[in-house]
Structure formats: structure tokens, C-alpha cells
Structure 1
């Protein structure tokens, strides 16, 4: 079987256009039309300027030609500026909508169905890469529209006055898109490599920052610094590769443009001096005609130069869309339900698992059979990576089962019951996370409006809030800036108390805490249970596991 990688690139580019360009195609067409009209008005300005200068040289009355020429030049210039402004407004509006749409889809999907790509990689796509779509939308397609019309129009005007000047443009003009196409293939490949390296460096940064304490304890600062230097140098090298291609392309385009304009200027100059008496149609060029040719020759090459510059924007855009397509194709875990608020699930509280197997990307985890009733407690233990957190997620309906079933409140946990089931549970995740809300609002996720005093007391967190500078109106950082790890966990337990429900799930609530703080968290969870609610904890902590009524182990 013969592989055709070029066909794959063509198909990828076609998909990219369908995804990014098709939704705003109407705006791009109108913007292109306005831009073409603006460019088509330049010959009127050039003619008025050439006419005014020619009349002035011919010693005509100054105001007889200068005022009409200046007036026509100004009016046409104002009209062109209006057309360009409107076209630019339409283009940037289309680009902003495109980026906002892709960003919205990406953030919503990653928040609900996370992929193997880390948060740093996602952040790189959202912050660094998606904005690269803007130049592609705002520059490339208008440049392509202009290059299809304006060079032909200006060539026709030039050829109507001088067949030699027209021949110069005819020879020099096509060399630009030919070379641009050759450079474009290398530019696309280089842009894709640069995009990959940006994501790699961002992921490495987040990974090292999260492990900073361990790095310092192990004395590995120099090794980490060296790794960063190597990755940064690799990004510099790939970025310079893209820039080299861009500068090479620009140099060649400017060379051809300069040569074309210079040859037209030489012909016009020698014709006006009387040294050349051929190249025009019958009669020698007049001063006005020669000036007109000199003014429109650079504009013949301008759309081609604009397209050459935008060609690299197109390459960068294709590289971004290629990464978005790869993210779309990644295997994901879809949580059950629609993540919408609804009435709590009816029925007496109970949890039962039977022959349940969770399907993860590339692996499966068999869950032990469990039965849990009102007010009962359960510790889920096992080695790291065995699936303790996965079991908690499965009981919450956050990961689907491959086989078996989970029953909650006497009903099968599925898409129809998951949202209602989660209205009856509270969850303390392994890593504390605080939204950008006041502490009062964050502690009340269901919006009951109740004072959190009792919940803070149950969680032994009332003194934590008392010493904060703004009390319940404090806004903590995303990871709980201003409170310790143990304090953040106790605040999360208080939030779980405020959530109410029949059961609280806690994932490694005492991990990485000193013994005194771990005991405080354990006591807070036990106080939660004393209120008559069920408790399920995933833990390595033997003391916390021993405080539970039942214990199961997830095998690796």
C-alpha cells in the first residue's frame, strides 16, 4: 500500500478551513469585497495625482488643475479609508467570535471530560495558541481575495498604456506566488513543531512547580534548571526556524517586487528622456502616463506581498487547528448525567456495587463489591495507583462503567439518575480548590443562604475564618493562599457539611499533613458522621481507616 502524506495534509487543511473559516465565510467575503473596492480606487487617486503634476509641469494655471486633482485625491482617499475601516471591523469581529467559540468549546469540554493533556498544555492552547488564529482570519483570506482581482486590474491598466511595462509585471508577478507556495510547505511544518514545543514547555513548567518542595528537598535545583534551559533552547531553536523561513520568504518577495518596480521606472524614465521610442501603443508616453505607471506599479505587487506575509499566518493557523483536532480525537471519560441542577434522587439512602469495572483510557479497574447504608462509614485503601480515587469517582457517577452496575438509593446509577444522585452527596477532593468567590458564598455551594457557623464548628474551622483579615468576605487564592493545607481541607469539610446530603466522599483527606493536623481532619470527618450521614474515605492513613466501621482494599 502506498502512503501519500501530501494527501493527508490536504485533508487536514480542508478540515481546518471547514472548522475555522466556514462559520465566518460570509463576513470574510464581504470584507474581501470591501478591500478589493478600496484597492480598485487607487488608480483614480494615482490618475488625479499624475494629472495634477503633468498640468503643473505644463505651466497650466496652478489652481485650474491643482484644486480639482487635490479634491479628487482627498475624496477618493476618504472613501478608501472608510472601506478599509469597515472591512477591518468585520474581520476582527469574525476573528474574535472564532477564537471565543473555540475557547468556549475547549474549556467546557476539558472541565467536564478531561483528557490526558495536563492543565498546562490546555492553558498553552487557550492562552498562547488560539490567538494565532486571528492573523489567519483577518489577513490571509482578504489578501487572497485581493490578489485574485487587483493585480489583474492593475496589469490591464498598465498594459493599456505600455506593453513593455505590462510584460515586466507579467514576468515578475507570478514568481512571487510560485516561491511562496514552495516556502509555505516548510513554514507549516516548522509552525507545527513550534506549537508542540510551546505545549511541552508549559507542561514541564507546571509539573516542576507542583513538585517544587520535593525538588528542593532532593537538592535537584541544578538538574531542573538545566532541564528548563534545554527546553527553552529547543523552543528558541524552533522559533528561529519559523522566523528564518519568514525572513527568507520576505526577502525574496521584496526582491522580485523591487526589481519589477525598478524595471518599470527605468523604462518610464528613458522613455520620457527620449532614449526609448518603443514599448507604448503608437505614441510615446506622456509625463502624466509615465507618472501613472510609476504610481500603480508598486500597487501591483502589494497584494502579492500581503499574501506572502499572510501565508505564514495561514501556516500557524493550520498548526493550531491540527492541535485542536488531535485534542478532539483524544479518548475521554464522560461523566454520567448532564451536570444540571435538579431535585434530589428519591428513595432510602443506600450504595451497592456489583461486579463493577471502570473503563479508563488504556486500562480497566475492577471495583470491590460494596454495600453501604445510612450513617455507615467505609475506608477504601490500597497502594498508590490501585484505583482508590477512581472508585470514589465511580460512586459519584464521574466515570462510566464497562461492565457491572452501581445502585444508589435502590436505582441504577446512570445518565438518568446521576444528576439527582449528586444532589444527595458531598465531596471533599484530594486537592483543595477555591473558586473566585467570598468564603461565605464558597461555603454555601447550594445557595441556601444559611450561616456557615455550625458547619465551621463541626469541621473545627471556625478559628481559621476568625483569623482571616476579612473573615467570611475573604477571597482565597485558587489553591487556598493564606491558609495551610490542613486548614484548606477543614474548610472543604465545612463546605461538605453545608452541602448537606446523606453521604460525604473524601479523597485522601489527610494526605501530606502532619499528625496533629491529620488528627484534626479525622475528628472533623467523624463529627460529620455523628450527624447521621454516611462517610466514604479513600486513604493511605491507617488511623483514619481504623476510625471507619468497614474497610475494603482496591487491588493493584
Structure 2
């Protein structure tokens, strides 16, 4: 960044040399001396090539730095959110990664360099102007500082408007994801028009906030152009009347010569050029600061990181046992106390309790996906901690309430350990084989992320088939029969009981009294 700034400043300092060569040649033409032209042309062309090289190299460095910064931040965000989610929706995180992080590029490539140039080039050109004429120097000295003052005042409003725009983008993404996930229910309830109206209102709110940012950007440019136009016009008037002999003061000794006057006219617009570039990049500053503020808030958000490294590991040694003693799960801003219990191979247990009591949190804690504030979980004779979590998860299969299907064929998803076992027996035991046969490409079908192509009950039976195929000894099922019709729920229950009869241990978090009654024990959470 420093080297790029040095190159940009060097490119700006070449113009006074080119301007001097051009003014020198024109003064020679007026005096009848054409011999200056080749030398002036050579200096002007060489300076142009050198400026182009400096600008190109500085831009290359800056864009590489911006790409590396955005890539690093994106990778860090994805890695951190995968390990420990912040209390934000996935749509808001996606908006930050995909839409907002790229706004750092113009902030790095334009605003940072504009600030360096503003700090150097106007001062150099001001000193040169004072060398030839104190009047020209005074005009530039008065007009120049007014621009940053007004830009600072405008910039305060721009930053606030940009932050409101960034917030609206995140909120709108969250709303779109929410409506898409509930599209079937919206259509069944006849609420499509209401959903469309809500979306239209949010889009209009985003338009209003975006236009507010643009109005401020145009205002800052107008202020700059006004003062720069006045400054250049006053220099032109002074130089013109001086050359006409109407003004005899303003220079240090003799009146300005034609060459000196032309030189001052040529460098006066460039005195304002760094301010012009800064004004053009002022919106980039506001957007960049808004993104940085959001990143800082995300960095400081309270999280619940899971145990282990989320890497493939050999299954934990020892017979399957599980026990909890004084366990308190640590969630962001909340602590969940879990009851003490123990479980051995082939046993089953139901976690029951009111909604929000912590049943799902209990299953996550058993899998090492939620840290503990107190107490201890012992698995296979080992303390469940950072060192044993990956190996412990190699012995358990999780059946979540909301299944997630990656972008891969169904046969690959059913066999994550790549054991290349025939999946049809497991599919039949889960009573989902006919569902797979009805899919367009059978086992080669790629389902939607949330199970698009199958119903909720069919998706959960596919999860159970995956658990059967994995051969893992402990099954953790989160509300496996929730929101299902009685026939589909009975299929889920039969599949879970089949696992238990074949020696698997089963723990379910459920509100279903029929499912809870079939478990060996029932433990209430939140008493």
C-alpha cells in the first residue's frame, strides 16, 4: 500500500514538469523560437509514459491488495461461522460475504490512495504557485481547505446513510430467505399477495436508503466542483489581466511572463484534482467503514464454538457409554442446565420438556456441538473435550429436525464414510426405498438444500437410512416426528425402534408421547 501510494504521488508530481515544458514551448512560439518544441515534446511524451507506468503499477498493487484482503476476510468469516455461529441469520451472513465485502475494494483502491495524494500533491503545487505569485498561492490556499471542511460535514451524513443501507440489505436478504423457505406454506395459506406486498415494501425501503446515499455523494461532488471552479476561474482572471497589463501586482518582482502565467494556469486545475478524486471516493469510504463496523460487530459477537476440529477421525475406543454430571450448556447470552443421566449400548432415552426448555441444546451438547459452562460429559470412558470430540462424533449419527442436503448425488450423501455398502437394505428398513425409486434419477438424484424433491417426513426417513448405513452405534434424533401426519410418524418410529432392536442406542428429543413411551427411559429437561 505504501509503495502504491508513492507511485501515485510520483505520477502526480510529473505533471508540473510536463506543464512547465508545455508553457516553455508556447512561450517560445510567441517569441519566434521554435527550437524549444522538440525538447518540450520529448519531455512531455516521456512524462506521459512515466505517469502511465506509475498509475498502472499502483493500480495493479492496489487491486491485488484488495483481492487478497477480501479473500482473507471471506475465508475467515466462512471458517469462523462454520465453527461458531454468530447470533445472525444465514442470509445476513451471506449478504456480508457476497454483497458487502466487495465494497472494501473501492475503499482500498480509491479512497486510501486519494487520501495520500491529498496530503502531498496540493501542498507541493501550492508551494510552486507561491514561488511565482503570492496572489495565485493565496487563491488556492483559501479555496483548497474549504473543500475538506465541507466534505467532513457531508461525510458524517454519508456514513450514517451508508450504514442504514447496509442494514437494509442484510434485512432484505433475511426476509427473502425466510419467505423462500416458507413458500409452500405461504401458497397453501393464500398469503402470496401479502408476501409480495411485504417484499415490495422492503424493496422500496432499500431504494429510498440507496437514493439517500447517492444524494449525499452528488452533493459532495457539487461542493467540490463549485469551489474548484471558483478557484481556477480566479487564477485565470488574475493571469489574464496580468498578461494584459491591467494588474501589476501579485508577483514577487517583475510581472508574470507569458510562460509563467501559462504554467500557473496549467497546474491550477491539478491542485484540485486530488480533492476531486477524494470526493469521488468519499462514498467508497462511507461504504467501507460501514462494512468494517459490521465486521467488528461480528468479531465481538458472543458465540458458542463446538468442540474438536471437525475433521475425520478414528472412532473413539471403548464400549459405548454416555453420562452427564452437572452439565450446563453455554449458549450466547443463555445457560441451559441439563439433567444427569447415563446410557449404555442398546438402551434408549427420550428427552422431554416444554418448547425452549433445551432439548435440542442437550442433543447438541451430547454431540460436542455446544460448549459447556459447567459439568462434565463422559463418553466411552473419556471426558468429552476438544481432543476427543471428533473421535466421539465418529460413533454417533445425528437426525436433525431440519435435514440439510449438500449438492451431491443421493448415493454419495447416504455413504459419507465411503464404505461402498449397498444402500437398498437401509432404505427398506427406513421405509423410504419406494420414495427413492420415484425420484427422477433414483440414487443419482440431487435433492434441494432443504430436501426439495421430497417431503419433510421422507427427508427424515432418508436421514435414518443414512444413520443405518453408517453403522454408528448412537442415534441422536431431534423431534423426528414433529409436524408429521400419524402414518408418516409411525414409519419414523418403526425405523428408530428397528435401530434399537439391532443394538443401537437411541436418544430422541421429542414432544411426541407415543415415541417417548417406547423409549426405555424419559428424562425431563428444564425442571
- TM-score (normalizing by structure 2): 0.92
- Is 2:10 the counterpart of 1:37? yes
2:226 — aligned with what? 255
**CA offset at residue 230 of structure 1?**
4.1
What stretches of structure 2 of length at least 5 have no aligned partner? none
Match of 1:134 among 105, 108, 114: 105
**Aligned partners of 2:234, 2:310: CA distance in 1, in Å?**
68
1:20 — aligned with what? none
**Aligned partners of 1:428, 1:371: CA distance in 2, in Å?**
20
Asked whether the equivalents of residues 134 and 252 of structure 2 are also in contact (C-alpha less than 8 Å), the reply is yes
- Is 2:511 the counterpart of 1:540? yes
**Aligned partners of 2:136, 2:323: CA distance in 1, in Å?**
87
- Is 2:20 the counterpart of 1:47? yes
1:196 — aligned with what? 167
* More deviation, 378-387/97-106: 378-387
1:13 — aligned with what? none
Residues 493-522 of structure 1: CA deviation (Å, up to 9, x unaligned): 222223322111111223333333333333
- Cα 1:342–1:253 change in 2 (3 A) is same
**Aligned partners of 2:336, 2:144: CA distance in 1, in Å?**
64
**Aligned partners of 2:414, 2:69: CA distance in 1, in Å?**
36
**CA offset at residue 66 of structure 1?**
4.1
* More deviation, 469-478/392-401: 469-478
- Is 2:44 the counterpart of 1:70? no
- Cα 1:333–1:55 change in 2 (3 A) is same
SS of the aligned residue for 1:117 comes to coil
Asked whether the equivalents of residues 159 and 287 of structure 2 are also in contact (C-alpha less than 8 Å), the reply is yes
- Cα 1:282–1:217 change in 2 (3 A) is same
1:377 — aligned with what? 348
- Is 2:80 the counterpart of 1:80? no
Number of corresponding residues:
527
Residues 186-224 of structure 1: CA deviation (Å, up to 9, x unaligned): 322332233223223322333333334444455545554
Match of 1:176 among 120, 138, 147: 147
SS of the aligned residue for 1:371 comes to strand
1:239 — aligned with what? 210
**Aligned partners of 1:185, 1:130: CA distance in 2, in Å?**
21
* More deviation, 332-341/256-265: 332-341
2:417 — aligned with what? 446
2:502 — aligned with what? 531
1:304 — aligned with what? 275
**CA offset at residue 451 of structure 1?**
4.3
1:476 — aligned with what? 447
**Aligned partners of 1:496, 1:414: CA distance in 2, in Å?**
24
**CA offset at residue 266 of structure 1?**
1.4
**CA offset at residue 304 of structure 1?**
1.6
SS of the aligned residue for 2:164 comes to helix
**CA offset at residue 384 of structure 1?**
2.2
How do 1:29-428 and structure 2 match up within 5 A? 29-61=2-34, 64-428=35-399
**Aligned partners of 2:333, 2:248: CA distance in 1, in Å?**
79
RMSD: 2.4
Asked whether the equivalents of residues 302 and 333 of structure 2 are also in contact (C-alpha less than 8 Å), the reply is no
Residues 472-501 of structure 1: CA deviation (Å, up to 9, x unaligned): 343332122323323322222222223322
**Aligned partners of 1:126, 1:79: CA distance in 2, in Å?**
38
Asked whether the equivalents of residues 479 and 508 of structure 2 are also in contact (C-alpha less than 8 Å), the reply is yes
Residues 332-377 of structure 1: CA deviation (Å, up to 9, x unaligned): 1122223233222111111222333323333333323332221222
Residues 388-431 of structure 1: CA deviation (Å, up to 9, x unaligned): 21111111111123333222112222223222211111111111
Match of 2:470 among 499, 504, 512: 499
SS of the aligned residue for 2:281 comes to helix
**Aligned partners of 1:155, 1:526: CA distance in 2, in Å?**
86
**Aligned partners of 1:407, 1:550: CA distance in 2, in Å?**
19
- Cα 1:51–1:468 change in 2 (3 A) is farther
**Aligned partners of 2:475, 2:306: CA distance in 1, in Å?**
19
SS of the aligned residue for 1:41 comes to helix
**CA offset at residue 125 of structure 1?**
1.6
**Aligned partners of 1:33, 1:68: CA distance in 2, in Å?**
27
- TM-score (normalizing by structure 1): 0.88
**Aligned partners of 2:481, 2:244: CA distance in 1, in Å?**
93
SS of the aligned residue for 1:88 comes to helix
